[in-house]
């Protein structure tokens, strides 16, 4: 019987890395990538930065040109959505009615933006896809009034890009300080001040209650009665794993738990990227990261595991954010820290922060200091209290 090969559901970073890894390591059976979007796999970080700013052609974010997939014998099923997984029949049901058989399956459907039910107007935007970036870009004209709901990293990057384009920006955040659950109140205030200095109106501790307008939102209304007129709205209130299609398959539709190699609890089914909740052997926890570095590593790791290779211990989680021409980088799990020590000058946007728990380094954040990250990483990796023995845990 013919080997049905590998099916990857979700044509983003994790799937791309997995496909490249398989072909590079001599895997010859069919590879099919099923992707709900019409575009071949592309890179998302530029969407809130260069693409939104109009400084990068849309095509420049593609990982590979179309001919590359042909040359490598990788079939792209674009504009096709997976609707269900049947692990007994070893098939994925597609919205075109086809039941696609797999030898091995990679779940790499990423995540989708959370929405607010009373904000579904024509000028309300989320930012996850190239199509989202194109739509939003058209609204960012000089003098336009943009309201950003949520001061997470996507909201903050959109604020920075919009300011660069001459847009009047208001950020509305429910927490008292942005990013407080991740970096703590002290650094959270630094992020709020950063945007204030750049001319952004930052409203914190504010519950958005309703919106006024017709087809387009004209005004946002807070629970305390304050009102903000706007021409466009970006909702950046977090994401949820795009795994609802797995309902009934036996896998967790709230994010697929995997071991360090991307294996799920189902035979020959792997998951990688934002859709998965991987096991971190250093900290002994399952933790979903939603960062580029993790999705890239996990995609390659799952591919190696599919062909019987051990991918090694996952690196510490890490991410970067670019705002106002400055790079912010983070490594480790800052939310696990109970203390933070700063070195440098936050007012000059030149500092690093070491997060510790009971005195043991668990994370580092560097602003304007890219060369600090390797040293911070070494300090965290050297803190053996959180790395007793690398544990393998299968979901």
- Residue that has been written with the tokens 């007129």 in this structure: 229
Stretch that binds ligand FAD, among 106-114, 201-209, 343-351, 379-387 (CB under 6 A): 106-114
Distance CA 227, CA 96 (A): 45
Please report whether residue 274 would count as binding ligand FAD according to CB under 6 A. Answer: yes
Q: Looking at 321, 323, 356, 372, which residue binds ligand FAD (CB under 6 A)?
A: 321
Judged by CB under 6 A, the stretch of 12-20, 277-285, 331-339, 370-378 that binds ligand FAD is 12-20
Among 68, 118, 319, 324, binds ligand FAD (CB under 6 A): 319
Residue 295 binds ligand FAD (CB under 6 A): yes
Q: Which residue, 290 or 393, has its beta carbon nearer to ligand FAD?
A: 290
By CB under 6 A, tell whether 20 contacts ligand FAD.
no
Say if residues 293 and 354 touch (Cβ distance below 8 Å). no
Residue 290 interacting with ligand FAD (CB under 6 A): yes
Piece of 65-73, 104-112, 196-204, 221-229 that binds ligand FAD (CB under 6 A): 104-112
Using the rule CB under 6 A, is 108 a contact of ligand FAD?
A: yes
Instruction: Give 211 or 303: the residue with its C-beta nearer to ligand FAD.
Output: 303
Count Cα neighbours of 141 within 13 Å in the Cβ-side half-sphere. Answer: 4
Look up tokens 């890490």; give the residue: 318
- Of these, 119, 136, 242, 261, which contacts ligand FAD (CB under 6 A)? 242
- Taking alpha carbons only, the member of 375, 319, 365, 321 closest to residue 344 is 365
| Shortest distance (Å) from residue 15 CB to ligand FAD | 6
- Sole window of 64-72, 259-267, 271-279, 382-390 interacting with ligand FAD (rule: CB under 6 A): 271-279
User: Based on CB atoms, which residue is closest to ligand FAD, 96 or 339?
Assistant: 96
Compare residues 37 and 259 and give the one whose CB is closer to ligand FAD.
Answer: 37
- Least Å from the CB of residue 298 to ligand FAD: 8
d(CA 156, CA 140): 15
Residue 26 C-alpha from the chain's centroid: 30
CA 169 remoteness from chain centre: 23
Choose one: 13-21, 68-76, 215-223, 355-363; the region binding ligand FAD (CB under 6 A).
13-21
81 makes contact with ligand FAD (CB under 6 A): yes
Closest-CA residue to 178 (of 149, 199, 198)? 149
- Cβ closest to ligand FAD, residue 90 vs residue 291: 291
Distance CA 293, CA 291 (A): 6
The pair of three-digit structure tokens given for residue 279, joined into one six-digit string: 């096991």
The pair of structure tokens assigned to 199 is 């001319």
Among 40, 178, 255, 273, binds ligand FAD (CB under 6 A): 273
Q: How many CB atoms lie within 10 A of CB 353?
A: 25
In the chain, the N- to C-terminal Cα span, in Å, equals 31
Query: Site for ligand FAD (CB under 6 A): how many residues?
Result: 36
Nearer to ligand FAD, 87 or 211 (CB): 87
Distance CA 251, CA 231 (A): 42
Q: Which stretch binds ligand FAD (CB under 6 A): 169-177, 178-186, 203-211, 273-281?
A: 273-281
CB 86 within 8 A of CB 208: no
Closer CB to ligand FAD, 260 or 321, in the complex? 321
Instruction: Give dist(CA 26, CA 304) in Å, integer.
Output: 11
| Dihedral over Cα of 287, 290, 294, 298: its sign | positive
Determine if 161 is a binding residue for ligand FAD (CB under 6 A).
no
Q: Considering only the stretches 28-36, 344-352, 362-370, 382-390, report the one whose residues sit in contact with ligand FAD under the rule CB under 6 A.
A: 28-36
Distance (Å, rounded) from C-alpha 194 to C-alpha 187? 11
177 vs 321, which CB is nearer to ligand FAD? 321
Buried b (16+ CB within 10 A) or exposed e, 163-185: bbbebbbbbbbebebbbbebbbe
* Rounded-to-integer distance, Cα 354 and Cα 368, Å: 15
Question: What residues between 33 and 62 interact with ligand FAD by CB under 6 A?
Answer: 34-37, 44-45, 47-48
Binding residues for ligand FAD, rule: CB under 6 A, are: 9-15, 34-37, 44-45, 47-48, 81-82, 108-110, 127-128, 154, 242, 245, 273-275, 290-293, 295, 319-321
């Amino acid at each position: 019987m013919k080997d049905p090969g590998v099916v990857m559901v979700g044509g983003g970073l994790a799937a791309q890395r997995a496909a490249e890894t398989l072909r590079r390591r001599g895997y010859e059976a069919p590879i099919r990538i099923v992707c709900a979007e019409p575009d071949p796999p592309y890179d998302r970080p530029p969407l809130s930065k260069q693409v939104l700013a109009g400084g990068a052609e849309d095509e420049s974010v593609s990982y590979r040109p179309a001919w590359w997939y042909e040359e490598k014998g990788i079939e792209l099923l674009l504009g096709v959505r997976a609707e269900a997984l049947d692990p007994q029949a070893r098939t994925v049901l597609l919205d075109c009615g086809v039941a696609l058989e797999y030898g091995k399956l990679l779940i790499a459907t990423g995540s989708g933006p959370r929405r607010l039910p009373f904000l579904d107007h024509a000028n309300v935007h989320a930012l996850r896809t190239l199509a989202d970036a194109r739509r939003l870009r058209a609204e960012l004209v000089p003098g336009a009034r943009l309201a950003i709901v949520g001061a997470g990293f996507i909201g903050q990057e959109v604020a920075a890009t919009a300011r660069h384009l001459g847009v009047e920006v208001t950020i509305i955040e429910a927490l008292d300080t942005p990013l407080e659950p991740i970096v703590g109140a002290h650094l959270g205030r630094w992020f709020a001040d950063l945007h204030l200095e750049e001319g952004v109106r930052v409203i914190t501790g504010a519950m958005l209650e309703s919106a006024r307008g017709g087809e387009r939102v004209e005004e946002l209304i807070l629970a305390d009665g304050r009102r903000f007129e706007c021409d466009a709205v970006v909702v950046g209130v977090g994401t949820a794993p795009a795994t609802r299609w797995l309902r009934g398959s036996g896998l967790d539709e709230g994010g697929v738990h995997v071991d360090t190699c991307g294996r799920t609890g189902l035979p020959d089914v792997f998951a990688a990227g934002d859709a998965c909740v991987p096991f971190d052997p250093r900290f002994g926890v399952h933790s979903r990261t939603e960062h580029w570095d993790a999705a890239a590593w996990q995609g390659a790791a799952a591919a190696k595991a599919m062909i019987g290779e051990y991918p090694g211990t996952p690196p510490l989680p890490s991410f970067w954010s670019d705002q106002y021409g400055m790079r912010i980088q983070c490594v480790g799990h800052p939310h696990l820290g109970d203390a933070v020590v700063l070195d440098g000058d936050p007012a000059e946007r030149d500092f690093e922060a070491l997060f510790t728990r009971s005195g043991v380094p668990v994370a580092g954040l560097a602003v304007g200091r890219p060369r600090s990250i390797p040293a911070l990483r070494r300090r965290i990796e050297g803190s053996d209290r959180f790395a007793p023995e690398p544990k393998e845990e299968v979901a």
